[in-house]
């Protein structure tokens, strides 16, 4: 008899003495600790008694419990954890589904409805299983059939890597083609000073990988890039990956039911890979957008996009212009401001932001210890960061048709109160400076664009003597600086374009040609659409991850979304292989019905509201094809299983 595989989330046994445990408990999230104590003791009274969190807000880990109550909780926990240690670190029997749901509701500080429970049970993986792991049956899909089904994955960011992991588990031969020199996608490209994730790291990572190692609650780019590098090697994906190789085109051959994928190496040489299926994992915010400012080529000094930061240029003591101040600019400016002689920030539209005191916070050793040793603590901490962006916020983004939105400042009563909350935070940080306050106050509804997070660093940077925020439009760039439309010349030595990405140009600049010579980008035009954001008619066996209509503006993690998408895509491959089909594609009816549903929903959301201008979420007509309108559980359900009625097989 083989012994059962140990549950990777049950915590590593420990022998630390009471003093060490006491010290660790100083750093933990108390509501999360209470859930771990339920696992240790099997006693639900930990979450039913006095240690009740008062509320849950994104990135607030103590549930607004007062210090005194937290301290009592630590005192109560210490002997229980010590006894657990002394008994050999064996958790009690697994809690029932009902108790798990009660723990979810306890942490969420609101009832977690039955419909959400399967998602979170799967996501939490309390049974130690990776629910997305591929476990195909040899009898249904013999190895020889899998071996004759080569797949090309385009891109080795978080989604391409994930595709590689699942294809490996399935025993399908695959090649990942990646234009950059290493893995990580966004986290390989965006190396600008201050680059860090704005989704909590313990949630912004693969659900099946440990998460006790993050140094900060919101990791910086080098740690994220190193994470993807490690995953690449740990899962044996490196040997399937060609870096410095850009896909130029992919063309479907109807007779052979294969895709010919043309790849260009760094030296310009091209070769063609033949695949039975293609998974595009190129991301959506990957191609820099550098606006064609008049005179842009006249500038004599160094000029580069934020996603192509030139680290050979020393900005210390220099006059720097940063054109654009969205999510990237918000991180760059506070980081470089102390070192430059002068920083001039050109911002066309003010940005909404909300407070996140943990944004730059290091994970204290005690919290790391708890994640490593206390059973399921790390999983419940993941839930704590996941839940606030798990769906409710999407409904709050809906325009209330009965609300008078004619001033363009809010879309509902709730949105108006969010505006007040955000404004209060901004005003408090700005202090007594009405001119600055006017410049940083957005004139469109709160959350209408990607809402940024701040712990004061952005607004503090703006208050520095060597920083100017210019809200006047740019007329042209000259040899020596930037001229605004009021005629003012701003002399600078370096220009950084923090001007974002070509969000609406999905899969650009590749030429993807499906059946009958249909070119994907021509078919899409300015309205990119895909069934579930994943597949399109006339493009058989071609699947997208992070495709049209799947970006998340209201919370959630794109890695979670990728796990939904790859599960679905692997479900498609399983159907193809088990049924010995040559190809599959969504029916036009399914595609059109999904696209219509998507548009009818998204057009009611704040991101599509008329008052939100200059948004990278919108196309030239002001419509939104980039974002998902779905609460996360809805998308999870939609992608959980392939509905064969929506497909034609050949
Ligand atoms: P962005 O949010 O699109 O910001 C681009 C900035 O450039 C905006 O200030 C924009 O002004 C300005 N701009 C663009 N075209 C312009 C023009 N023709 N003239 C003047 N100004 C112009 O780009 P980003 O900051 O690189 O962020 C893109 C997305 O990447 C974010 O929404 C987020 O999803 C993601 N991101 C995340 C993180 C993170 O996790 N911390 C960090 C960076 C990026 P307008 O606002 O007026 O258009």
| pLDDT tens digits, one per residue of 517-544 | 999 999 999 999 999 999 999 999 999 9
Other CB atoms within 10 Å distance of the CB of residue 209 = 16
Q: Distance, CA 65 to ligand 1 centroid (Å)? A: 36
Query: How is residue 268 written in tokens?
Result: 């310009």
pLDDT in the model for residue 2: 46
Q: Distance, CA 562 to ligand 1 centroid (Å)? A: 23
Nearest-CA residue for atom 4 of ligand 1: 326
pLDDT in the model for residue 190: 98
Query: How is residue 454 written in tokens?
Result: 């701040």
Query: How is residue 122 written in tokens?
Result: 């799967």
pLDDT in the model for residue 357: 87
pLDDT in the model for residue 1: 42
Q: Distance, CA 450 to ligand 1 centroid (Å)? A: 9
Number of the ligand 1 atom closest to the C-alpha atom of 616: 3
CATH superfamily of 149-287+503-649: FAD/NAD(P)-binding domain (3.50.50.60)
Mean pLDDT of 487-491: 98
- Omega cis (within 30) before 471: no
pLDDT in tens, 359-369: 999 999 999 99
Q: Is 71 helix (H, G, I), strand (E, B) or coil?
A: helix
pLDDT in the model for residue 52: 97
Number of Cα atoms under 13 Å in the Cβ half of residue 248 = 12
Output the average pLDDT for the chain. Answer: 96
**Are 232 and 165 within 8 A, CB to CB?**
no
pLDDT in tens, 16-30: 999 999 999 999 999
User: Is the CB of residue 326 below 6 angstroms from any atom belonging to ligand 1?
Assistant: yes
User: Is the CB of residue 328 below 6 angstroms from any atom belonging to ligand 1?
Assistant: yes
Identify the band that residue 58 occupies on the pLDDT scale cut at 50, 70 and 90. Answer: confident
pLDDT in tens, 587-637: 999 999 999 999 999 999 999 999 999 999 999 999 999 999 999 999 999
User: Is the CB of residue 500 below 6 angstroms from any atom belonging to ligand 1?
Assistant: yes
Q: For the sheet with 245-253, list strands across it.
A: 270-275, 258-265, 245-253, 511-513
Which residues belong to CATH 3.50.50.60 in the chain?
A: 149-287+503-649, 296-358+395-497
Q: What is the torsional sign of CA 220, 226, 229, 234?
A: negative
Q: Distance, CA 503 to ligand 1 centroid (Å)? A: 10
The CATH T-level fold of domain 296-358+395-497 is FAD/NAD(P)-binding domain (3.50.50)
Q: Which residues pair with 586 in a beta bridge?
A: 647
Query: How is residue 401 written in tokens?
Result: 């048709």
pLDDT in tens, 259-280: 999 999 999 999 999 999 999 9
Helices (H), 9-96: 18-25, 30-41, 45-48, 67-86
Nearest-CA residue for atom 35 of ligand 1: 327
pLDDT for residue 294 is more than 50: yes
Query: In angstroms, rounded to a whole number, what is the distance separating the alpha carbons of residues 407 and 410?
Result: 8
Pocket test for ligand 1, best of 186, 288, 327, 501 (most atoms within 8 A of CB): 327
Identify the CA nearest to 274 among candidates 149, 378, 171.
Answer: 149
Mean pLDDT of 173-187: 98
Query: In angstroms, rounded to a whole number, what is the distance separating the alpha carbons of residues 157 and 204?
Result: 13
If you compute the radius of gyration of the chain from its CA atoms, what whole number of angstroms results?
26
Residue with tokens 């002001």: 622
Query: In angstroms, rounded to a whole number, what is the distance separating the alpha carbons of residues 208 and 125?
Result: 8
Query: In angstroms, rounded to a whole number, what is the distance separating the alpha carbons of residues 67 and 189?
Result: 42
pLDDT in tens, 408-457: 999 999 999 999 999 999 999 999 999 999 999 999 999 999 999 888 99
Q: Is 454 helix (H, G, I), strand (E, B) or coil?
A: strand
Q: Could you give the angle at the alpha carbon of 387 between the alpha carbons of 382 and 390, nearest 5°? A: 120
Nearest-CA residue for atom 32 of ligand 1: 450
Q: Distance, CA 149 to ligand 1 centroid (Å)? A: 40
User: Is the CB of residue 499 below 6 angstroms from any atom belonging to ligand 1?
Assistant: yes
User: Is the CB of residue 450 below 6 angstroms from any atom belonging to ligand 1?
Assistant: yes
Percent of the chain with pLDDT over 70: 99
Query: In angstroms, rounded to a whole number, what is the distance separating the alpha carbons of residues 26 and 499?
Result: 42
Identify the band that residue 5 occupies on the pLDDT scale cut at 50, 70 and 90. Answer: low
Query: How is residue 539 written in tokens?
Result: 């493009």
Residue with tokens 């029932």: 96
Query: How is residue 230 written in tokens?
Result: 């490690």
DSSP for residue 167: H
Identify the CA nearest to 428 among candidates 452, 463, 393, 471.
Answer: 463
pLDDT in the model for residue 395: 85
Q: Distance, CA 339 to ligand 1 centroid (Å)? A: 23
Q: Distance, CA 497 to ligand 1 centroid (Å)? A: 10
Q: What is the torsional sign of CA 547, 548, 549, 553?
A: positive
Q: Which residue has the higher pLDDT, 162 or 396?
A: 162
Strands (E), 494-580: 494-497, 511-513, 542-544
Q: Which residues contact 467 (CB under 8 A, 6 or more apart)?
A: 333, 337, 342, 343, 344, 345, 461
pLDDT for residue 391 is more than 80: no
Q: Distance, CA 333 to ligand 1 centroid (Å)? A: 13
Strands (E), 202-292: 241-242, 245-253, 258-265, 270-275, 277-280
Q: Distance, CA 206 to ligand 1 centroid (Å)? A: 26
pLDDT in the model for residue 153: 99
Question: Among 52-66, 67-81, 256-270, 489-503, which stretch is predicted with the lowest mean pLDDT?
Answer: 52-66
Percent of the chain with pLDDT over 90: 94
Identify the CA nearest to 106 among candidates 178, 47, 28, 160.
Answer: 47
Mean pLDDT of 366-379: 97
User: Is the CB of residue 470 below 6 angstroms from any atom belonging to ligand 1?
Assistant: no
User: Is the CB of residue 348 below 6 angstroms from any atom belonging to ligand 1?
Assistant: yes
């Amino acid at each position: 008899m083989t012994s059962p595989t140990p549950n990777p989330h049950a915590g590593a046994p420990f022998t630390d003495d009471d003093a060490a445990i006491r010290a660790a408990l100083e750093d933990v999230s108390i509501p999360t600790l209470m859930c771990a104590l339920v696992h240790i003791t099997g006693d639900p009274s930990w979450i039913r008694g006095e240690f009740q969190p008062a509320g849950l807000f994104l990135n607030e880990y103590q549930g607004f419990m007062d210090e005194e109550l937290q301290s009592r909780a630590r005192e109560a926990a210490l002997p229980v954890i010590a006894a657990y240690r002394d008994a050999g670190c064996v958790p009690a029997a697994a809690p029932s589904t009902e108790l798990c749901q009660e723990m979810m509701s306890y942490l969420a500080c609101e009832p977690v409805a039955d419909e959400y429970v399967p998602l979170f049970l799967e996501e939490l993986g309390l049974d130690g299983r990776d629910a997305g792991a591929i476990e195909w049956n040899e009898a249904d899909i013999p190895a020889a059939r899998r071996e004759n089904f080569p797949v090309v994955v385009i891109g080795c960011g978080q989604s391409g890597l994930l595709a590689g992991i699942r294809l490996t588990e399935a025993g399908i031969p695959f090649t990942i083609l990646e234009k950059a020199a290493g893995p990580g996608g966004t986290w390989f490209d965006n190396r600008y000073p201050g680059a860090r994730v704005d989704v909590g790291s313990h949630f912004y990572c693969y659900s099946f990988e440990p998460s006790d190692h993050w140094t900060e609650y919101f990791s910086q780019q080098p740690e994220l890039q190193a994470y993807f590098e490690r995953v690449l090697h740990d899962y044996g994906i490196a040997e399937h990956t060609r870096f410095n190789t850009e896909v130029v085109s992919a063309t479907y051959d109807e007779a052979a039911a294969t895709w010919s994928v043309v790849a260009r190496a760094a030296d310009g040489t091209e070769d063609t890979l033949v695949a039975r299926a293609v998974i595009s994992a190129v991301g959506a915010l990957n191609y820099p957008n550098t606006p064609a400012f008049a005179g842009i080529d006249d500038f004599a000094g160094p000029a580069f996009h934020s996603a192509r930061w030139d680290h050979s240029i020393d900005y210390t003591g220099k006059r720097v212009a940063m054109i654009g101040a969205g999510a990237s600019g918000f991180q760059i400016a506070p980081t470089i401001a102390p070192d430059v002689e002068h920083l001039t920030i050109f911002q066309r539209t003010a940005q909404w932001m909300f407070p996140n005191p943990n944004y730059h916070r290091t994970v204290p050793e005690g919290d790391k210890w708890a994640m490593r040793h206390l059973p399921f603590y790390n999983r419940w901490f993941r839930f704590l960061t996941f839940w606030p962006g798990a769906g409710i916020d999407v409904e709050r983004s809906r325009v209330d048709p009965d609300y008078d939105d004619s001033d363009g400042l809010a879309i509902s009563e709730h949105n108006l109160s969010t505006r007040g909350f955000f404004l209060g935070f901004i005003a408090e940080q700005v202090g007594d400076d009405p001119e600055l306050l006017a410049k940083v106050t957005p004139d469109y509804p709160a959350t209408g664009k990607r809402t940024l997070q701040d712990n004061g660093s952005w607004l503090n940077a703006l208050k520095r003597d060597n920083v100017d925020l210019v809200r006047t439009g740019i007329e042209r760039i000259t040899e020596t600086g930037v001229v605004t439309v009021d005629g003012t010349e701003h002399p600078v030595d370096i220009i950084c374009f923090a001007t974002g990405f070509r969000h609406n140009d999905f899969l650009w600049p590749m030429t993807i040609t499906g059946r009958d010579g249909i070119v994907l980008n021509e078919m899409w035009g300015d309205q990119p659409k895909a069934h579930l954001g994943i597949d399109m008619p006339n493009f058989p066996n071609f699947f997208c991850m992070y495709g049209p209509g799947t970006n998340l503006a209201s919370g959630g993690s794109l890695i979670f979304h990728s796990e939904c998408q790859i599960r679905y895509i692997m479900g498609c491959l399983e159907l193809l292989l088990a049924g010995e089909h040559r190809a599959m594609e969504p029916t036009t009816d399914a595609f059109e019905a999904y696209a219509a549903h998507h548009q009818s929903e998204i057009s009611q959301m704040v991101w599509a509201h008329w008052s939100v201008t200059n948004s990278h979420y919108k196309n030239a007509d002001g419509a939104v094809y980039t974002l998902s309108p779905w609460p996360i559980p809805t998308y999870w359900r939609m992608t959980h299983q392939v509905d064969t009625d929506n497909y034609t097989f050949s």
